Structures are given as structure tokens and as C-alpha cells.
Amino acid sequence: MPGQVDHNLLALNYRDPLPRPKVRGAVIDAHCHLFARRHAKSWFEAADHFGIDHFVTQTPLEEAIGLSRQWGHRLVFVAVPKYDENKQKRFDTWLRRLDAFANLGAKMAKIHMAPQTMQRWGWQLNSPEIRRIIHEIRARGMIIMTHIGDPTHWYNTKYADRSVYGSRDEHYQWWEDALEEHRGWPWWCAHLGGNPEDLPRIQRLLDRFPDLILDLSATRWMVREISARRDEAREFIIRNVDRLIWGSDQVSGDARDFDFLASRFWCHRKLFETAYHGQSPILDPDFPLDGQPVLHGLALPDDTLQKLYRDNAIRVFAKMGVHFGPMQIAA
């Protein structure tokens, strides 16, 4: 496909005008990664174009203060560790960073427990160090947030060596044990519980653990797996709408300009708001060019979008004392 880039295979003009989402009030992207203040100009330009107002962002501590000075009215920060810290220093540094983020008003803390992270760190969800971190998160009055699992395609390819990475069933048993231990405390899990390929599994978890909250973040993953089971996913989302929150999983970067960022927002809005059926403009590197996934929009009802895009995030964070700042929303 000469002349095309991996975030615009369809040669779209991402600056074409489009209406705001059909939401009363400001739209909230509740899972994203605005990594640096220098990325903010392109980030907010793309966000404004697609009608997205507030962001719950997993920003490195070193950048959070600078971003909060100019953009604090649009940002809520999630406490995250320093991922490149060596294991000997990581635990103590993580505790100090929890305190620093708490001083910035953070009321949610992220623990990344994907298979490759567990293998690289040498810690699992049931490790004593991680179990203590979870208790420290609770002690600071924060929502526990985790990334559990990863695409099934990865379990069958890059994680195929179970002696190195373990199995999904093993990872999810550790998670269920932790959810049981922390009943009564809000637990947020990214990416539809890390297993959108198996919605019955996720339904069982929602039914068993009433404090569990799931987000709908990750662009290529959601496009691929929600579209592949479009009717089942639509019914699942509508049935569980009070337990789900939308997030893009947008990630900023020095080379990620307006078009790159816009491509992710474009796909999410098409997936959840419309009945679009066709190719995604974003290359999915897990599949060959002649076997790219189809994007099949859910055309969710307006009242469902209202909860996913705004009301549920407002409600969940208000319980922790966090309120999103005012926005002037154009008519």
C-alpha cells in the first residue's frame, strides 16, 4: 500500500468535521497515557476535534506536575510505578511514588500484571510484594487498577512457552483470589477484563464480584475482538452498562502527531457509536495485510453511551472524592 501509513490505511482526512458524541456534559476518556507535557498540544488538538474533554491518565510522575499546571482542569492522574526501576529499588520507590501521586490528588493506582510484565519483573499478582502494594493502595484510599491477561492471540504465540509465561487460567485464578481478598473495595480492570475474546468468563467475574469495574480501552484489540462477536458484545455491554467505562488507551509520543492520535479516537467512535462495517484505518501487526480485522460498529443506544462516556466515571470517582473540572462545551 504505497504512500499509506499504519494509522491511516484508508487515506482518511481525520480533520473532516464531525458532531460531538451524543452525551449531556463533558466526555471522559477514563484510560489513557499522556506521557509528557511536550505532547499536550497535539493531544488536546485531536481530543477537541473528536469531542473528548477529560482524561484519566497514567502519566509518569516526572511529567504529571508540569501537565497539571496548564491542563489540570482536564486531567485526573493515576498513580503508576517507574517501570524501568530495577527490582532491588522498585518496591521502596513505588511506595514513595504512591505518596507523591496521592499528594497530586490521585485516587487510583495501576498494577500492570500482563504475562510479559510478570516475566520481566519476576513478580506475579500473588507475590508478597504485589500483595503488599495492593494493601498500600487501599491505605491511601485509592481504587485498585490492574491490567490482567492479554490478547488470546498472544497467549497462542508470544506467550506459548507456559514454562516461562504461565497460562491464562493460572493468571486469572490469582486475580480471582485477589478480588476475593479485597471484596468491598473498588477494583478496576483494563481492556474488558483482559479477555474480550471470552465474554462468558468476564460475565462470571462481574456476577461474582460486585465491586469490579471494567473499561473498554485498547483500540486494535477492541476493534478486532468486539467486531468479531459484534452482537454478543453489544448485548453484553448494554446488559452490564453500569459496570463499564470507556477509555481509549491512547498513548502519546514524540512522533505521534494529530493524525496518529486521531486514528485511535476515530476507531473508538466508529466502534461504539455507529453501525460502520469495513476495514479499520489502523494496521493490526498481529495479522497479515490481506487478513486485517474488520471494524463492525455496535451502534450503542444514546443512554448507554451517556453512561460509558461520562456518567459511570463521574459516579465511580465521586465516591473517592474526585470531581472532574468544568468544561465549556460547544453546542
Domain spans in the chain, listed from the N-terminal domain onward? 28-318
So what's the pLDDT on residue 329?
60
Specify the fold of 28-318. Answer: TIM Barrel (3.20.20)
CB proximity list for 243: less than 8 A, separation 6 or greater: 206, 212, 213, 214, 312
Residue type, 328: Q
Strands 75-77 and 54-57: parallel
Neighbouring-strand partners of residue 112: 147
| SS3 of residue 47 by DSSP | helix
- How many residues does this entry show for the chain? 331
Q: Which residues of 261-297 are buried (b: 16+ CB within 10 A; e: fewer)?
A: bbbbbbbbbbbbbeebeeebbbbbebeeeeebbebbb
CB proximity list for 139: less than 8 A, separation 6 or greater: none
| Contact (Cβ atoms closer than 8 angstroms) between residue 146 and residue 113 | yes
Please give the helix or strand (H or E) that residue 225 lies within, else none. helix 219-228
- The pTM of the full predicted model, rounded to 2 decimals, is 0.96
**Residue ranges in the chain whose pLDDT is less than 70:** 1-4, 85, 327-331
Neighbouring-strand partners of residue 279: 294
C-alpha cell at 51: 469531542
DSSP annotation of 19: P
So what's the pLDDT on residue 328?
58
Q: What is the pLDDT of residues 239-264, one digit of tens each?
A: 999 999 999 999 999 999 999 999 99
So what's the pLDDT on residue 89?
81
The span from the first CA to the last CA of the chain, in angstroms, equals 39
Q: What is the pLDDT of residues 1-12, one digit of tens each?
A: 444 689 999 999
CB proximity list for 18: less than 8 A, separation 6 or greater: 49, 50, 51, 269
CB proximity list for 13: less than 8 A, separation 6 or greater: none
